[in-house]
Amino acid sequence: MNLTFLAHQAVCGAVAAAGFGVLFNIGFRSLLWCAATGALALLVRTICLDYSWSLEAASFVAALAVGSVVQMLRAHTNLSQNALDVAGCIPMVPGSFAAKAILGLFALTVPNPISEDKTLIMAVENTLRVGFTIGAIGTGLAIPTLLLRVRVRK
């Protein structure tokens, strides 16, 4: 694996997650944590993809890693777990597959669609990939929350 490519993916994940942190109105001090979770997410996903894992499986493992790290940090920091989880994993949402799915469905609405069978199959395939990937990310984030929950004694 090319270390330059890994560094590129980590930086892009960090910038995207910090940008979404700004959109979510996360405090300035917490933006570094958002950047760190975004970098971790894309780094883990890229490594898994390099080992020929599917996008869905790689996204699941990356979200599981982010969720575990955020859950462990929660005991030591005063950060919102949900905001960090979501901001860190948003860069993994497969936007290109979503765009291809929507454009494919739009292509079927024209008066005389060309190769409508192939277009429909590709649109459904891309829609399923988006759905399964988002489901994998959500499941990967939920598991550490359920298993590593910090229990407060009363």
Over residues 103-137, the pLDDT tens digits come to: 999 998 888 888 889 999 999 999 999 999 999 99
Decide if 154 is inside a domain.
Answer: no
Decide if 22 is inside a domain.
Answer: yes
Dihedral angle over CA of 53, 59, 65, 69, nearest 10: 160
Decide if 60 is inside a domain.
Answer: yes
Decide if 152 is inside a domain.
Answer: no
Given a cut of 70, whether residue 153 has pLDDT beyond it is no
How many CB atoms lie under 10 A from the CB of residue 153? 3
Q: Is the pTM of this model over 0.75?
A: yes
Chain Cα centroid distance, residue 92:
3
Residue 134 is part of which domain span? 3-147
Decide if 58 is inside a domain.
Answer: yes
- The Cα–Cα gap between 12 and 64 comes to 19
Decide if 153 is inside a domain.
Answer: no
**pLDDT tens per residue across span 13-44:** 999 999 999 998 888 888 899 999 999 999 99
Given a cut of 60, whether residue 154 has pLDDT beyond it is no
- Asked if 138 and 67 touch (Cβ cutoff 8 Å), the reply is no
Residues 6 or more apart in contact with residue 148 via CB below 8 angstroms: 68, 71, 72
The domain tally of the chain equals 1
- Asked if 79 and 27 touch (Cβ cutoff 8 Å), the reply is no
**In 31-134, beta strands by DSSP E:** none
Rounded to an integer, the average pLDDT of 74-103 is 86
Decide if 45 is inside a domain.
Answer: yes
